[in-house]
Chain A
Amino acid sequence: MRYALCMEGSMSRKIRVLIAKPGLDGHDRGAKVIARALRDAGMEVIYTGIRQTPEQIANAAIQEDVDIVGLSSLSGAHNNLFPKVVNILREKGAEDILVFGGGIVPVDDIPGLKKAGIREIFQPGASTEDIIKYINENVKTT
C-alpha cells in the first residue's frame, strides 16, 4: 500500500500550461477565465498577459518548462502568429511542447493551422471543461 502511494507520487506531476496572447489583441477575458479554470483543475498555469510576440511566447514556454501552450487571438492575426510560435519552438529544439489555440478563428482556417503544427483550435462556445479534458488527454506527465 505504501509502495503504491510512493509510486504514484513519483510517477505523475502537475501539468504545466502557458496561456498566451500573441499580437496586439487586448481581449483577454477568455484567456484569463481559461487560465483560472486550468488552475482550479490542478494544473500549473502561467498567463503571459497581452501583447506578446511569438518570440516572447516561445521563450516563456521554454523558460517555464511547460508541457503545452494555449494561444488566444480574437483579432484575426492567428494565421500569421500561431504558426510562428510553433516554428520558433521547433527551432529551439522544444517541439515536444504542444501548442493549441482559440479565440475567433474561422473554421476554414483550422486545417491550415493544424498543418502548421497547432494541435487543436477551440472556437466560441467551447467550455473550460472541453479544454481541461483536451489537455489531460494529450499531455503525458508520466
Chain B
Amino acid sequence: MSKNIREEFERWGKTTLNKAISKAPEREPSFKTTSHIELKRLYTPLDVADLDYCGELGFPGEFPFTRGVQPTMYRGRLWTMRQYAGFATPEETNKRYKYLLEHGQTGLSVAFDLPTQIGYDSDHPLSDGEVGKVGVAIDTLKDIEILFDGIPLDKVSTSMTINSTAAILLTMYIAVAEKQGIKSEVLQGTIQNDILKEYAARGTYIYPPLESMRIVTDIFAFCKNRVPRWNTISISGYHMREAGCTAVQEVAFTLTDGIAYVEAAIRAGLDVDSFASRLAFFFCCHNTFIEEIAKFRAARSLWAKIMKERFKAKKDESCMLRFHTQTAGCSLTAQQPDNNVVRVAFQALAAVFGGTQSLHTNSRDEAYALPTEDSVRLALRTQQLIAYESGVADMIDPFGGSYAVEALTDEIESKSMEYIEKIEAMGGAIKAIESGYIQGEIGESAYQYQKEIEAKKRIIVGLNLFQMEEEPLRDILRIKPEVEQYQKKKLARVKKERNNTKVKEALAVLKKAAQGTDNVVPPILEAVKLYATLGEISDTLREVFGEYRER
C-alpha cells in the first residue's frame, strides 16, 4: 500500500506539480511556521507511516493524552469561558464580573493592578499613576470582599493572575469564602503562581528565585490539604510568547519551568502524585492556525512522558497537561481594530481544536486599552458562536489523523525536546533564567519577527499591507485618576478601624515562619483576616527574603 503511495507521490511531483510550477512559481521559495519549521507543500500518509496510534496518540482521557485530557472533552462539558477582567476599584470590577456572568461567561478571571501584583499598597510611592490601571486594586481583605460581593464562590471557579503575591490573594479568597459560609475544601479556581516566567518575561517578581520557589511549594503543600480542588499553579507560556518567542520555544520554556516546579516540590518533601494533578498550564494562541493546534497536542504528549518517565508518576492524573488559553494580544493591531475580531475568532477556534480546558478571547480594542463592555461582550460571543454554532465541540480532536497535524505535532514535540534537553544540561530553568539564556532566546525571536514585519516578509493586514487612512478609536476605557485617591482613602479607613496590635503580632508570626522552615501560608491567612495590608505582608517577606534585582 505505502509503496504505491510513494511511487504515485513522486509521479505527481514530476508531472502534474512540475507542470504547474513551471507555469507559475509558488508565492514564496519556502513557507515556514513561526518556529521556522519548513512546511511541506502537501502531507501524505508517507509522513505518518511510522505513527504508533496507540502508543503516541491513544485515546482521550488516557496517557499520553495527545488527543485530549478528558474522555468526552467538549461533548461532556464545554471549555470554561473565562474572560480576564479587572480595572479601577473592586466596586467597578464587581460590576464587570456580574455583567460577564450575566452574558454567559462560565468562570471568573481576575486581573490585578501592578501595585497589587508587586506587593505595594495603593498609597506606596511606587504606586503613583499605576493604581487600578491594568487591573483591580487590592489593598486588604476589604477589597476582596467587595470584589466578590454577591458572587457565590461555591458555584463559580475563579482564576487569579497573581504571582509574587499569590499566597496573599489566595488566603484573601479563602477568607471571603469563609464569610460566605463556604469551606475552603470546596473552592475551585487557580492562582497563576508561576514566578519563573516573571523573571524570564513578565516582570512582577519581588523576591529572589530560591525564596520565591519556597513560597510556591509552601502553597502546593497548603492547598493539598486545605484547598484540594484548587489549581495551585498555572505554568505559563503565554507571556513568553507575547514577549516574542516562537511556538516551539513556548512549549519548551513552559515545560522546563514545569520541570523546575516539580523538582522543587519533590525536594520540599512532597510526593509527586500528591500535587501533580493540580498543576495547570497556560498557553497563547497565535495566528498560525495549524501550527497552534499541533503545538497544544505536542505539549500534552511531551508533558505526559516527562511526568511518567522522569518523575515516575504513578497516577494518570499526574501526567495530564490541563491548560487555559488566551488568544495572542501581541497579534492585534491598533490599525483597523475590526480586523482583530477576525484574528481572535481564528485563534479561539485553533485553541478549541487544540483541546483547551478554558479560554480567554481578546477584544477588538486590545491595542488601545482594557476592553469596554461592548468589546468584551463580542469577544465572549466569539467563544459562544464556536461552542454552539460551529459544531466543532461535538466531536473530539477532529484534526487527529490529519497528515499535516500529526507530522507537525511530532516535529514540534521533538524540537521542543531538543530545547528542554539543552536547558536541562545547563542545570534547568532557574539556571537558564539566571544566566539570561531564556531571555536571550525570546529577545532574538522578537527581534527577528519585527524585522520580518518591517521587511514585509511577514504581512500584518492593515499594518504593512492594505493600510488605510483612519481615525484612532476614541471610545475606549479610561481609568479615572480619582480611583487612586478613592483606594487610598479606603485603605486609611481600614487601617484605622482594624486591631493594629493584633496585625503587628500576626506579621511577627509570619516573619518568624519565613525565617524558618514553617509553611508561610497559614500565618498569611491569619494576617489577611485581621486586615493586614498586601503591602505590609509583602514587606514582612521583603525583610526576610530581600528583593530581586534584574541583571
Contacts and interface: CB of A to CB of B under 8 A. Distances in A.
A1 B476 CA distance: 59
A29 B203 contact: no
A105 to B, nearest CB: 10
Chain A interface, >50% SS class: loop
A127 B452 CA distance: 11
Interface in B353-389: 367-369
Interface string A27-39: 1110011001100
Given A24-B130, A51-B203, A29 B242 contact: yes
B22 to A, nearest CB: 38
Given A28-B203, A106-B478, A77 B463 contact: no
Nearest to B439: A32
Nearest to B204: A26
Contacts of A49: 550
Q: How large is the interface on A (under 10, 10 to 19, 20 to 34, 35 or more residues)?
A: 20 to 34
A106 B368 contact: yes
Contacts of A53: 126
Interface stretch (B96-104, B149-157, B304-312, B442-450): B442-450
B133 A36 contact: no
B114 interface: yes
Contacts, number: 93
Interface in B170-229: 198, 202-204
Contacts of A78: 129
| Of listed A24, A53, A75, A123, residue having the most chain B CB within 10 A | A24
B334 A123 contact: yes
A93 interface: no
A32 B244 CA distance: 11
B482 to A, nearest CB: 14
B128 interface: yes
A125 interface: yes
B244 A24 contact: no
Interface in A44-92: 49-51, 53, 75-81
B446 A125 contact: no
B134 interface: yes
B333 interface: yes
Interface string A3-32: 000000000000000000001111111001
A44 B118 CA distance: 32
Contact of B203 (A27, A80, A128): A27
Contacts of A50: 203, 550
B128 A77 contact: yes
A104 interface: yes
Given A25-B114, A50-B550, A125-B463, A75 B450 contact: no
Contact of A125 (B335, B476, B479, B550): B335
Contacts of A129: 454
Contacts of B476: 106
B242 to A, nearest CB: 7
Contacts of B130: 23-24, 75-77
Contact of B126 (A24, A37, A104): A24
Interface residues of chain B: helix, strand, loop or mixed (majority): loop
Q: Indicate the size class of the contact surface on chain B.
A: 35 or more
Given A104-B369, A106-B369, A125 B133 contact: no
A75 B114 contact: yes
A29 B129 contact: no
Given A104-B369, A124-B333, A129-B454, A26 B129 contact: no
A94 B450 CA distance: 33
Given A24-B130, A51-B203, A76 B472 contact: no
A29, A33, A53, A108, most chain B CB atoms within 10 A? A29
B480 to A, nearest CB: 11
B115 interface: yes
A36 to B, nearest CB: 5
B267 interface: no
Contacts of A106: 368-369, 476, 478
A96 to B, nearest CB: 26
Contacts of A76: 129-130, 133-134, 369, 479
A125 B463 CA distance: 7
A76 B202 CA distance: 16
Of the listed residues A28, A53, A129, the one surrounded by the most CB atoms of chain B closer than 10 A to its CB is A28
B334 A125 contact: yes
Nearest to A129: B454
Contact of A107 (B127, B333, B472): B472
A29 B335 contact: no
A33 B114 contact: no
A29 B469 CA distance: 27
Nearest to B444: A36
Interface in B331-367: 333-335, 367
B474 interface: yes
A81 B129 contact: yes
A24 B114 contact: yes
B243 interface: yes
Nearest to B448: A33
Contacts of B369: 76, 104, 106
A73 to B, nearest CB: 9
Contacts of B333: 124-125
Nearest to A36: B447
17 contacts: A24-B115, A25-B134, A26-B203, A28-B243, A29-B330, A33-B443, A33-B446, A37-B450, A75-B114, A75-B130, A76-B129, A106-B368, A106-B478, A108-B474, A124-B333, A125-B333, A129-B454
Question: 3 shortest A-B CB distances, which residue pairs?
Answer: A26-B203, A80-B129, A77-B129
Interface of A: 23-29, 32-33, 36-37, 49-51, 53, 75-81, 104, 106-108, 123-125, 127-129
Given A26-B204, A53-B126, A106-B478, 15 more contacts: A23-B130, A24-B114, A27-B202, A27-B203, A29-B330, A33-B446, A33-B450, A75-B130, A76-B479, A77-B128, A80-B128, A104-B369, A108-B474, A124-B333, A125-B335
